[in-house]
């Protein structure tokens, strides 16, 4: 016999005079700030009441209805109507549409009030854009739309700008595949095909910041010396139909490629092909990207591999190279410098020796089946492969004594792809992650304003990395800094109860410019870290004895290396409320300046140079001109002053190349004055600069 589904009964609705309504004490909305009663009142005045009030009859002690109705749900609308009555714009007896809950209902008034506020869903920005677009197409102006919804005209213009974005990208955004700021960045271009290609590239990269999207969409030419060109090969680009622009009168470093879209496509195709080759070795997963963030392997477990021994042929080759190197050095031992061809040959020998000495690792197939590799593009345009990394959830569980079924006691997160992992690592959002918007100053801004927060964080991340490398290379300074820290802890703070309350906490650098992971300091730190890791004993119990047996020089070098991970010279934007105070960051930067001065840290020697991507495209035109003026003089600055910002930034990059100019945040006290004199002197020959 079929069962009958019970039918629900909805509360009746009717018009009730406003003067018979009172605000219920059961209304859960108690905080009055930010309710925008005046705006809601003006909206009701314009279009009427769109949503009924939820009311209940008030009864006397005998349970008889008094004719008065309380409003537990709809208090903000009630206050807006009350304001209109006070302003004489609404009659006291005006009928108000109400949904009437019966007296004595089993549903509490607080239940209704909470449900109405909690269960509402804010309109998706894409739906807002479509509504604005429909209203615009039906005759309303942008200003009228803004006035109707009490938002700035700029908000309406921003939403309507999404009309230039590809429908494919709009669908991705609708499915939460990208953020609104990323979607809006695509509106800078009307080329849907290029928009989709850029998203395909950045969606596979760690860096999806809006400024990266804008840069790629506005990139018109690429230098032939760019790492992407060196990776793909100029001939391959030309064979694919790409065009190149050459300067017939001046050295142009190989020219400029005029089809960045074709170049990016070739780069990603070659990277993916390389990734498939690496996957064929037996790895569980392989992730490819133009570059990965500094410290991206930090959350992974690294499996051990064994060095592949040299073959007889490789051993003979290595011995021959070393013999040739020693012979050349002995022949020119008394010479002030090597001839150009000899110097070039020594460089070739050193690179060949390095390739032979840096042995590849062989891994156990069982380990490879649960591990993966990262494939990216190095700063010199070569393929960079990092093998042997395992997600924590893929590590074999270590059963407890009472765990008979071998299940894991930890609740590991599910692996959902590299981008999510990278986001988790980088979502130090409260400090320097998404809380810092990717700020690109507007082109029309001509003043020397403070640098954007995110740019300052990226610059100081670069400086921190270089400072770590210099710190790890100078055990004397490292020990001095350690002793300084320990003395402060012992004499100025309450000591802890541990045997030795001294520790190093590695400071992550989740926000940085794309060029930092491939920089000279990054390479040096990686090499140093791999060297020490190779030497460490496998047995942790033997570690103390191993350290105890090191000579003093090795102990000092290891100390400096370990301490370097704790060096923190980062600028952080001050949150309104948070654990980081302005005073603590100021003190940190002051001590970092002292450390940089002690180490004679030179960011120019470390490899930093201003580019459109890491500085010039991120600041105002006034700052671009200031940089060129400081480095090359007034005449050079005047020659580019008339250009639009994107063109000015590109020309400034060319002018500043090799100048040694640094933004103030990267300068070291003591070196800055000397560098300033050198850059001005270098910029004195304006005829040479003009010839560029």
279-321 pLDDT tens trace: 999 999 998 888 887 778 878 888 888 888 889 998 999 999 9
Residue 527 has pLDDT above 90, yes or no: no
> Does residue 621 belong to any structural domain of this protein?
no
> Does residue 304 belong to any structural domain of this protein?
yes
Contact by Cβ (8 Å): 663, 451 = yes
Contact by Cβ (8 Å): 428, 510 = yes
> Does residue 618 belong to any structural domain of this protein?
no
Specify the pLDDT at position 91.
92
Residue 589 has pLDDT above 80, yes or no: yes
**Same structural domain for residues 190 and 273?**
no
Specify the pLDDT at position 121.
61
**Same structural domain for residues 80 and 164?**
no
Specify the pLDDT at position 496.
43
Contact by Cβ (8 Å): 581, 574 = yes
**Same structural domain for residues 203 and 59?**
no
DSSP 523-583: HHHHHHHHHHHHHS-S-GGGHHHHHHTS-HHHHHHHHHHHHHTT---------SSSS--HH
Between 378-387, 393-402, 490-499, 565-574, the lowest mean confidence (pLDDT) is in: 490-499
Specify the pLDDT at position 603.
92
Specify the pLDDT at position 631.
93
Contact by Cβ (8 Å): 689, 655 = yes
Specify the pLDDT at position 422.
26
Label the pairing between strands 383-390 and 306-307: unpaired
| Confidence bin at 503 (pLDDT 50/70/90) | low
Residues 309-356: pLDDT tens digits?
Answer: 889 998 999 999 999 999 988 888 888 788 888 888 988 898 888 888
> Does residue 512 belong to any structural domain of this protein?
yes
Closest CA to 436 of 589, 574, 546, 320: 574
**Same structural domain for residues 464 and 594?**
yes
**Same structural domain for residues 457 and 588?**
yes
**Same structural domain for residues 140 and 86?**
no
Residue 97 has pLDDT above 60, yes or no: yes
Specify the pLDDT at position 498.
42
Between 274-288, 501-515, 641-655, the lowest mean confidence (pLDDT) is in: 501-515
Residue 196 has pLDDT above 50, yes or no: yes
Residues 132-191: pLDDT tens digits?
Answer: 888 888 888 888 887 777 677 777 877 777 788 888 998 888 888 888 888 888 887 888
Residue 444 has pLDDT above 80, yes or no: no
Between 77-91, 106-120, 163-177, 189-203, the lowest mean confidence (pLDDT) is in: 106-120
Specify the pLDDT at position 413.
36
Between 41-55, 244-258, 531-545, the lowest mean confidence (pLDDT) is in: 244-258
**Same structural domain for residues 323 and 282?**
yes
Residue 690 has pLDDT above 80, yes or no: no
Show which of 255, 282, 313 is a domain's final residue. Answer: 255
Q: Indicate whether this model's pTM tops 0.75.
A: no
Residue 619 has pLDDT above 50, yes or no: yes
The two three-digit tokens of residue 268, written as one number: 């990603």
The two three-digit tokens of residue 329, written as one number: 């050095």
Domain total for the chain?
4
Averaged over 25-38, what is the pLDDT? 68
Specify the pLDDT at position 406.
41
Phi, psi angle pair for 151, to nearest 5°: -125, 160
Averaged over 438-449, what is the pLDDT? 53
Residue 602 has pLDDT above 90, yes or no: yes
Closest CA to 190 of 164, 219, 218: 164
> Which of the two residues, 403 and 164, has the higher pLDDT score?
164
Closest CA to 459 of 610, 323, 339: 610
Closest CA to 630 of 588, 672, 595: 672
Specify the pLDDT at position 434.
36
Alpha carbon distance 76, 384 (integer Å):
59
Residue 278 has pLDDT above 90, yes or no: yes
Specify the pLDDT at position 685.
44
Show which of 233, 255, 277 is a domain's final residue. Answer: 255
DSSP state of 519: S
Show which of 85, 119, 153 is a domain's final residue. Answer: 119
- In sequence order, the 6+-apart residues with CB closer than 8 A to the CB of 339 are none
- In sequence order, the 6+-apart residues with CB closer than 8 A to the CB of 601 are 463, 466, 467, 470, 595, 668, 671
Specify the pLDDT at position 85.
93
| Confidence bin at 252 (pLDDT 50/70/90) | low
| Angstrom distances, CA of residue 598 to CA of 383, 562, 603, 668 | 36, 19, 14, 10
Averaged over 599-618, what is the pLDDT? 90
Specify the pLDDT at position 247.
55
Query: Count H helices, E strands: the chain?
Result: 28, 14
Specify the pLDDT at position 21.
92
Residues 209-240: pLDDT tens digits?
Answer: 787 787 778 777 788 888 899 999 989 999 98
Between 38-47, 72-81, 250-259, the lowest mean confidence (pLDDT) is in: 250-259
Crossing angle for the helix pair 453-472 and 582-598, to the nearest 10 degrees? 40
**Same structural domain for residues 302 and 248?**
no
**Same structural domain for residues 172 and 299?**
no
Alpha carbon distance 131, 137 (integer Å):
10
Residues 1-21: pLDDT tens digits?
Answer: 567 787 777 788 889 999 999
**Same structural domain for residues 536 and 667?**
yes
> Does residue 316 belong to any structural domain of this protein?
yes
Label the pairing between strands 95-100 and 12-17: antiparallel
Owning domain of residue 551:
453-608+662-678
> Does residue 434 belong to any structural domain of this protein?
no
Specify the pLDDT at position 282.
93
Specify the pLDDT at position 31.
58
Residues above pLDDT 90, as percent of the chain: 19
Closest CA to 444 of 645, 157, 153: 645
**Same structural domain for residues 476 and 590?**
yes
Specify the pLDDT at position 411.
38
Label the pairing between strands 95-100 and 383-390: unpaired
**Same structural domain for residues 189 and 246?**
yes
Alpha carbon distance 604, 609 (integer Å):
7
Residue 426 has pLDDT above 50, yes or no: no
Averaged over 656-661, what is the pLDDT? 91
CATH of the domain at 21: 3.90.1530.30
> Does residue 421 belong to any structural domain of this protein?
no
Residues above pLDDT 70, as percent of the chain: 81
Average pLDDT, the chain: 79
Highest mean pLDDT among 349-358, 570-579, 603-612, 680-689: 603-612
Alpha carbon distance 665, 603 (integer Å):
11
Three-point CA angle 361, 366, 370, nearest 5°: 90
> Which of the two residues, 580 and 37, has the higher pLDDT score?
37
Residue 117 has pLDDT above 80, yes or no: no
> Does residue 440 belong to any structural domain of this protein?
no
């Amino acid at each position: 016999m079929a069962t009958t589904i019970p039918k629900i009964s909805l509360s009746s609705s009717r018009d009730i005079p406003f003067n018979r309504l009172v605000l219920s004490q059961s209304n859960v909305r108690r905080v009055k700030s930010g309710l925008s009663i005046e705006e809601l009142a003006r909206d009701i005045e314009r279009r009427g009441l769109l949503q009924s009030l939820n009311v209940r009859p008030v009864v006397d002690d005998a349970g008889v209805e008094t004719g008065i109705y309380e409003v537990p749900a709809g208090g903000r609308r009630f206050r807006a109507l009350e304001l209109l009555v006070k302003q004489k714009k609404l009659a006291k007896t005006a009928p108000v549409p109400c949904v009437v809950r019966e007296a004595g209902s089993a549903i509490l008034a607080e239940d209704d009030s909470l449900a109405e506020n909690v269960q509402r869903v804010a309109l998706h920005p894409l739906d807002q854009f479509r509504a604005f677009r429909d209203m615009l197409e039906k005759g309303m102006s942008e200003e009228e739309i803004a006035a109707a919804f009490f938002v700035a005209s700029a908000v309406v213009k921003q939403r309507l700008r999404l009309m230039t974005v590809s429908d494919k990208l709009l669908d991705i955004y609708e499915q939460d595949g990208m953020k609104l700021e990323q979607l809006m960045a695509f509106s800078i271009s009307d080329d849907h095909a290029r928009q989709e290609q850029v998203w395909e590239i950045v969606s596979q990269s760690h860096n999806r910041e809006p400024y990266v999207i804008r840069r790629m969409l506005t990139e018109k030419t690429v230098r032939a010396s760019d790492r992407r060109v060196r990776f793909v090969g100029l001939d391959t680009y030309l064979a694919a139909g790409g065009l190149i622009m050459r300067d017939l009168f001046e050295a142009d470093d190989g020219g400029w490629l005029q089809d960045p879209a074709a170049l990016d496509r070739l780069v990603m195709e070659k990277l993916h092909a390389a990734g498939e080759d690496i996957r064929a070795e037996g790895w569980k997963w392989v992730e490819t990207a133009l570059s990965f963030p500094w410290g991206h392997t930090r959350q992974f477990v690294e499996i051990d591999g064994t060095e592949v021994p040299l073959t007889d042929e490789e051993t003979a080759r290595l011995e021959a190279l070393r013999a040739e190197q020693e012979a050349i050095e002995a022949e020119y031992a008394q010479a002030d410098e090597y001839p150009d061809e000899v110097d070039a040959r020594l460089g070739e020998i050193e690179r060949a020796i390095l390739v032979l000495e840096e042995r590849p690792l062989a891994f156990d197939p069982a380990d490879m089946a649960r591990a993966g590799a990262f494939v990216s593009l190095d700063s010199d345009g070569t393929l960079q492969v990092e093998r042997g990394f395992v997600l924590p959830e893929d590590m074999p569980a270590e059963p407890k004594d009472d765990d008979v079924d071998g299940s894991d006691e930890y609740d590991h997160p599910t692996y959902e792809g590299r981008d999510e992992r990278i986001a988790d690592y980088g979502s130090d959002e409260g400090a320097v992650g998404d809380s810092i918007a990717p700020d690109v100053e507007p082109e029309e801004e001509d003043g020397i304003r403070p640098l954007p927060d995110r740019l300052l964080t990226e610059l100081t991340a670069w400086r921190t990395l270089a400072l770590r490398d210099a710190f790890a290379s100078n055990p004397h300074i490292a020990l001095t800094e350690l002793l300084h820290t320990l003395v402060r802890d012992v004499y100025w703070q309450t000591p802890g109860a541990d045997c030795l309350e001294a520790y190093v906490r590695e400071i992550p650098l989740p926000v940085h410019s794309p060029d930092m992971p491939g920089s000279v300091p990054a390479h040096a730190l990686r090499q140093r870290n791999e060297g020490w890791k190779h030497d460490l004993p496998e047995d942790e119990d033997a570690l103390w004895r191993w350290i105890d047996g090191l000579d003093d020089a090795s102990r000092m070098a290891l100390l400096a290396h370990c301490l370097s991970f704790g060096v923190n010279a980062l600028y952080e934007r001050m949150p309104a409320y948070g654990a980081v105070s302005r005073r603590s960051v100021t003190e940190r930067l002051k001590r970092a300046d002292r450390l940089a001065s002690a180490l004679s840290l030179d960011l120019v020697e470390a490899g930093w140079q201003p580019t459109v991507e890491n500085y010039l495209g991120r600041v105002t035109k006034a700052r671009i001109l200031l940089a060129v003026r400081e480095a090359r003089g007034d005449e050079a600055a005047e020659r580019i002053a008339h250009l639009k910002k994107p063109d000015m930034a590109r020309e400034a990059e060319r002018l500043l190349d090799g100048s040694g100019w640094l933004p103030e945040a990267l300068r070291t006290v003591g070196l800055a004055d000397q560098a300033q004199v050198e850059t001005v002197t270098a910029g004195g020959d304006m005829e040479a600069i003009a010839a560029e």
